[in-house]
Amino acid sequence: MSLVLAENINLHVIPTKKYKTIQIMIRFATEMTREKASLRTLLSSMLETNSRHYPTSTAMSKKLSEMYGARFNVGTNKKGNVHQLNLVLSIVNPKYLPHETALLEEGLMFLNEVLFSPNIKDGQFDLATFGREKNNLQSYINSVYDDKQSHAALSLQELYFSDSEAQKTPGFGKAEDVASITSEELATYYLKMLREDTVDVMVLGDVSTEDVAEQLASFAWGERAVAENDQMYYQKPHGDVLEKKETLPVKQGKLNMGYHTGIYFHDENYFAMQVFNGLFGGFPHSKLFVNVREKESMAYYASSSLDTFRGMMTVQTGIDSQNREKVLRLIEEQRQAVIDGQVSDEVMLQTKAMLKNHYLLSQDNPNAILESEYLKLKFPQSALTDAQWLGKLESVTLEEVQQVAKNVRLQAIYFMEGNA
Amino acid sequence: MEKKEYSRLNEVLYTKTLPNGLRISLLPKPDFHKTYALFTTDYGSIDEEFIPLGEKEFVKVPDGIAHFLEHKMFEKEDGDVFQVFGRQGASANAFTSFTKTSYLFSTTDQVEENLTTLLDFVQSPYFTEGTVEKEKGIIGQEIQMYNDDPNWRTFFGLLQGMYPKHPLHIDIAGTIESIAEITADDLYTCYQTFYHPSNMNLFIVGNMEPEEMMAMIRNNQEQKTFAPPQEISRKFPQESPADLVKVSSLQLPVSRPKGYLGIKGFAPLPETGFELLRYRTAASLFFQLLIGPTSELYLSMYNEGLIDDSFDYEFILDRGFYFADIGGDTENPKELTGKIKELLLTAQDRPEISEERLQLLKKRMTGNHLQSLNSLEYIANQFSKDQFGEATLFDMSAVIDSIEMKDIQKFIDHFIIENHMVEFFVYPDKDEA
């Protein structure tokens, strides 16, 4: 059930007794730019670390401990054209605790404090905290690249979106951009975010709208000027394939590929695309796993995944570097096999069964429910009943899958050659 | 079938041990779509030296064989078991730890078919020299991938210092060289010894009707014959504090150095499950009190830039061993381990170890415990570890509540001993990174 808390700020409560917790998420959303990714990620670290009343990270942790180990995270991510900053508080449902407590009210008061009373004095964030968090974020960004699978995925993203500064930037920003942010600049940006972002508050658990609405409405939300923008990012396909090769001291090579699909969240061909991805590389019975990894022993892992907010599909593999050409050829052969309709009825049924399984499983996960309820608000075409969703999946035909497979176009190849 | 109600938690657990020795636990969760089943043998990477079923002499098998066996279980004469689960709408997986091997599926459909597949595939080994050879390539790739992971290498580097002779320091997957020696016969030897139903447990949680489920499992097991159960004899190298490698280091392609302190437990542990669980809980509370995120000591190390968010500690207690590891990324790895050592050795007198803080951290731990019960996988994994005899995950709230300052003091005296500590450092490999 939804309610307007303030101008352009909506509350959505999802009542359920299934979990031992209550989750509260406040989401700020804005158009993704390279600059904002770094600013907002650093801001998320500042908001998570301390506040005016809890000026040290230990004071903050102590408060969370008093609230029976409440979990509080502020994180950012990028979805299509949009950059999101999320404050998420998860508390235990008080009815499972040994003593009566007003934990929900206390949790909301805590959120009000950390969001509206950050550790800002005289127009800038506390300098000691700021300096530390800035260093830590730069180190964190560098360490992401220590993980070679992430390194390969981010390098492919940079290659695939070489024309878009915003899209080639990771949602957590860039180390060199973080380095140049000042404390005043971040404090100014914080106020701008409060004024200009789209805000949604989602609550999931054994609660009613009345339990939370009054308290949330009393937050100092203020005047707002919100510009709604298209969450989808569109990129035209090009005829040539961009390639990048990098040699690193690793034993296992990585070969990642990016394809243009042109198919978006709950588009006409959305379900056909899901089935194609399932047949091609989404599951352990998919062609990439069975033929590239198992039959040919050419890869330790080989899978594909979809980004339906950017109309893109990626393939990721870990291989022996000398097998690059052979693996590339094998991957293309697997796609061609789907185009040619080399898909047994049994595999088709299996793929649909797996997609159905994943859909139902996601409804057991509180964070996944919050996310899908959020998307239902933004994309009403995705607000389907279980029967409708499963019906759409069921009705996908092999011809439709062949057609989407044919329209998928290879755009970029990133290769990490190992020389260790 | 025994039924136990945990009314405080709103949970009901059903248990039974079958005549062949298999222990079964069922935890119905009617609100969930999912059913998650975990079939576990008390056999892991460290169980390398043992007396095979029906024999009298110890044998030693190659490093990495438990994990190799886990991989090979999925391949049968008529194809790949993953495909069977897939056709039945389930996701299957398996994992091997130091002391356990678990096979699992998770599904929202055809629970009975999937459960039959799980029981049947784990209970019908099929290994040939041909399939064993082919697997060596795939596992070789997996080993290389672990070798490229700096955190994995760091963990095993620290274990090498604490357990220089004991197989705990060996990568769970083994090495390219060790797996090259594995034969189909070796796999059968390990399988027959460790996959006997009396060495296994089955835990199922989620959407189910418990009576029907139990009848189905019983029926499945009654159709199979097994050798009479036999006590398993395992052998491990003995180590004393003199064997510890006090300081060691590695160069790896990382952007920041790492410093870790390891403490190895040598003294005997409490014998009853409940007391053992209390010991582990006291250990965990001790580390939280001293260097957890609510501690002033943690804050000052963080503020000095000695630690960052990667700083962490864990206390691991498993069959036959227990240890702690503490550390993270830092510009000054030696200063970090030196500081932690000093804090641990003076812990007795630190204001952080106080009654008031213990009450606070017990609250925190109770909440964290309840939060984790949202995850069916977590519940199943914790139950399947089966480490604490009669005490289970659902007794945790009571166990946490029972911990007092004197338990913390007892833990310090028992575990925090200077010559049981080792240091391990990772330095960036400047030429290559």
Verify that B211 and B270 share a domain, yes or no.
Answer: no
Average pLDDT value for residue range A268-294: 93
Q: Is residue B162 over pLDDT 60?
A: yes
CB pairs under 8 A between A and B: 173
Average pLDDT value for residue range A122-148: 94
Inside any domain, residue B53: yes
Average pLDDT value for residue range B209-236: 96
Selected residues 163-222 of chain B with any CB under 8 Å from a CB in chain A: none
Residues B34 and B155 sit within 8 Å (Cβ to Cβ) = no
Verify that B326 and B255 share a domain, yes or no.
Answer: yes
Verify that B14 and B137 share a domain, yes or no.
Answer: yes
Region of A143 on the Ramachandran plot (φ > 0 left; ψ -120 to 50 alpha; else beta): alpha
- Tell me the shortest Cα–Cα distance from B56 to chain A, in angstroms: 39
The residue among B29, B106, B144, B304 with the most chain A CBs within 10 A of its CB, best to mutate, is B144
pLDDT given for residue B91 in this prediction = 87
Q: Is residue B432 over pLDDT 70?
A: no
- Find chain A residues with C-beta within 8 A of B310's C-beta: 143
Inside any domain, residue B173: yes
Interval A142-162: pLDDT, tens? 999 989 999 999 999 999 999
Q: What is the mean pLDDT of chain B?
A: 95
- Find chain A residues with C-beta within 8 A of B374's C-beta: 19-21, 366
- Tell me the shortest Cα–Cα distance from B120 to chain A, in angstroms: 20
pLDDT given for residue B34 in this prediction = 95
Interval B264-278: pLDDT, tens? 999 999 999 999 999
Residues A285 and B79 sit within 8 Å (Cβ to Cβ) = no
Verify that B177 and B278 share a domain, yes or no.
Answer: no
The CA-CA-CA angle for residues A234, A236, A241, to 5°, reads 125
Nearest to A318 among B83, B106, B145 (CB): B145
Interval B314-364: pLDDT, tens? 999 999 999 999 999 999 999 999 999 999 999 999 999 999 999 999 999
CB atoms within 10 A of CB A298: 20
B34 interfacial to chain A (CB closer than 8 Å): yes
The residue among A61, A206, A296, A346 with the most chain B CBs within 10 A of its CB, best to mutate, is A61
Inside any domain, residue B319: yes
- Tell me the shortest Cα–Cα distance from B37 to chain A, in angstroms: 14
Inside any domain, residue B235: no
The residue among B6, B135, B148 with the most chain A CBs within 10 A of its CB, best to mutate, is B148
Verify that B254 and B313 share a domain, yes or no.
Answer: yes
Average pLDDT value for residue range A272-283: 96
Q: Is residue B89 over pLDDT 90?
A: no
Q: Is residue A199 over pLDDT 70?
A: yes
Verify that B122 and B251 share a domain, yes or no.
Answer: no
- Cβ distance B432 to A420 less than 8 Å, yes or no, reads yes
Average pLDDT value for residue range B126-151: 91
pLDDT given for residue B386 in this prediction = 85
Residues B394 and B11 sit within 8 Å (Cβ to Cβ) = yes
Q: Tell me which residues of B are annotated as active site.
A: 70
**What span, in angstroms and rounded, lies between the C-alpha atoms of A338 and A352?**
15
Q: Is residue A388 over pLDDT 90?
A: yes
- Cβ distance A57 to B299 less than 8 Å, yes or no, reads yes
**What span, in angstroms and rounded, lies between the C-alpha atoms of A80 and A262?**
13
Selected residues 375-404 of chain B with any CB under 8 Å from a CB in chain A: 376, 397, 401
B329 interfacial to chain A (CB closer than 8 Å): yes
B144 interfacial to chain A (CB closer than 8 Å): yes
Boundary (domain end) residue, out of B222, B256, B281:
B222
- The secondary structure element, H or E, covering residue A398 is helix A398-407
| Exposed / middle / buried, residue B220 (Cβ in 10 Å: 0-12, 13-18, 19+) | middle
Sequence-distant (6+) residues with CB within 8 A of A210 are none
Inside any domain, residue B228: no
In this structure, what are the phi and psi dihedrals at residue B400, rounded to the nearest 5 degrees? -60, -45
Residues B183 and B132 sit within 8 Å (Cβ to Cβ) = yes
Q: What are residue A283's DSSP bridge partners?
A: none
Q: Is residue B248 over pLDDT 60?
A: yes
pLDDT given for residue A2 in this prediction = 81
Inside any domain, residue B199: yes
Verify that B10 and B139 share a domain, yes or no.
Answer: yes
In this structure, what are the phi and psi dihedrals at residue B261, rounded to the nearest 5 degrees? -110, 130
B107 interfacial to chain A (CB closer than 8 Å): yes
The residue among B304, B309, B396, B432 with the most chain A CBs within 10 A of its CB, best to mutate, is B309
- Find chain A residues with C-beta within 8 A of B82's C-beta: 284-285
Q: What is the CATH number of the domain that holds B355?
A: 3.30.830.10
Least confident of A6-15, A239-248, B348-357, B408-417: A6-15
pLDDT given for residue B433 in this prediction = 39
- Find chain B residues with C-beta within 8 A of A364's C-beta: 32-34, 376
Q: Where are the alpha helices (H) located in B169-270, listed in sequence order? A: 176-180, 184-194, 210-222
Interval A338-350: pLDDT, tens? 999 999 999 999 8
Verify that B135 and B251 share a domain, yes or no.
Answer: no
Q: Where are the alpha helices (H) located in B16-101, listed in sequence order? A: 65-73, 81-87
**What span, in angstroms and rounded, lies between the C-alpha atoms of B39 and B14?**
16
Return the residue of B nearest to A138 by Cα.
B255
| Exposed / middle / buried, residue A54 (Cβ in 10 Å: 0-12, 13-18, 19+) | buried
- Cβ distance A250 to B253 less than 8 Å, yes or no, reads yes
Verify that B254 and B386 share a domain, yes or no.
Answer: yes
pLDDT given for residue B431 in this prediction = 53
Inside any domain, residue B378: yes
Verify that B166 and B298 share a domain, yes or no.
Answer: no
The domain of B135 spans 2-222
Q: Is residue B430 over pLDDT 80?
A: no
Verify that B203 and B333 share a domain, yes or no.
Answer: no
Boundary (domain end) residue, out of B222, B249, B279:
B222
CB atoms within 10 A of CB B296: 12
Average pLDDT value for residue range B278-292: 97
- Cβ distance A285 to B141 less than 8 Å, yes or no, reads no
Selected residues 87-106 of chain B with any CB under 8 Å from a CB in chain A: 87-92, 106
Interval A167-194: pLDDT, tens? 999 999 999 999 999 999 999 999 999 9
Interval B349-362: pLDDT, tens? 999 999 999 999 99
Boundary (domain end) residue, out of B188, B222, B256:
B222
Interval B292-306: pLDDT, tens? 989 999 999 988 989
- Find chain B residues with C-beta within 8 A of A18's C-beta: 31-32
- Cβ distance A146 to B303 less than 8 Å, yes or no, reads no
Nearest to A357 among B90, B142, B370 (CB): B90
How many domains does one find in chain B?
2
Inside any domain, residue B10: yes
- Cβ distance A147 to B295 less than 8 Å, yes or no, reads no
pLDDT given for residue B350 in this prediction = 95
Q: Is residue A1 over pLDDT 80?
A: no
Verify that B150 and B178 share a domain, yes or no.
Answer: yes
- Find chain B residues with C-beta within 8 A of A357's C-beta: 89-91, 107-109
Residues B270 and B279 sit within 8 Å (Cβ to Cβ) = yes
In order of their start, the domains of chain A are: 2-217 (3.30.830.10), 242-418 (3.30.830.10)
**What span, in angstroms and rounded, lies between the C-alpha atoms of A176 and A138?**
8
Q: What is the mean pLDDT of chain A?
A: 94
